[in-house]
Amino acid sequence: MKKIALLLVSMAVAGALIVSSCSSNVTTGSNGLSGTITEAGSTTVQPLAERMADAFHEIHPNVTVTIQGGGSSVGVKSAADGTVDIGAASRELKPGEPELIKHLLCHDGIAIVTDTGNPVNGLDVAEIREIFAGEITNWSDVGGPSEDIIVVAREEGSGTRAAFEEMVMDEELVANSAILQPSNGAIRTTVSTTPYSIGFVSFGYLDESVKSLAVDGVEGTVKNAKDGSYPIVRPLYFLTDDEPEGVLEAFLSFCLGPTGQAIVEDEGYISVN
């Protein structure tokens, strides 16, 4: 009987180890954390997540964090169906989407950008709405030269587009004539190389290749976004389908802690502390 009992205990322990190794890629041993984490979703979050993953890996070299893009809708779906450990979204969850646990990573301003040769320096929200809806089509109507406005926007499913539509478009639709791009980086490149174009990008993608326009007379800066004077600001989330544990919990705590939030600010986003 003792042999049978010992055999049953051994089988139970072995089974538990198998379940553990299959249900998560997480272990904690004498050498510290080890395992793998996968993340996918918002291209706004992607460069920030990549830097956080590299910094976390330096501290925990036995942990590999793989970061992918795909857009916010991909992040929501992938987290919900277990394809990845973390989904990334640059918008709020929509009605009808899976109920996921939101981890507020930071906030982000959406900048309205044009090419550096355009003399226009600012627009109000109503003008931006009418431009992207195709109702204003020439820069002369907003104090610029007599040149056609070339609208550049994100594709459907983009969290940046969803946030832009919610905060700026007020139920107006983006014009069908808009040039659609799959990422913030693609919009920046298109605007920077297309005279008299206009687009919208995350603050984290601003550089000298494009001009950020003032909105309602307020410059698009992190300071103005933090104090509430800049009007186009949205949350960025990491999403999980359950409460994180083990190495996943450690990574999320790192991202939301002092080191992770320092990376947030260094990348041009708005920290949560």
Give mean pLDDT, residues 66-92.
96
Phi (first) and psi of residue 213, to 5 degrees: -85, 140
Top-confidence residue, 156 or 149: 149
pTM: 0.78
d(CA 161, CA 159): 5
Q: Tally Cβ neighbours within 10 Å of residue 134.
A: 16
Tell whether the model's pLDDT for residue 2 goes beyond 60.
no
Q: Per 3-state DSSP, what percentage of the chain is helix, strand, and coil (rounded to 5)?
A: 40, 25, 35
What residue spans define the domains of the chain? Answer: 33-107+235-266, 109-233
Give mean pLDDT, residues 140-153.
98
The reported pLDDT for the residue numbered 273 is: 76
For the structural domain made of 33-107+235-266, what CATH number should be given? 3.40.190.10
> By percentage, how much of the chain surpasses pLDDT 90?
85
CATH 3.30.420.40 fits 109-233, yes or no: no
Tell whether the model's pLDDT for residue 25 goes beyond 70.
no
Establish whether domains 33-107+235-266 and 109-233 are of one fold: yes
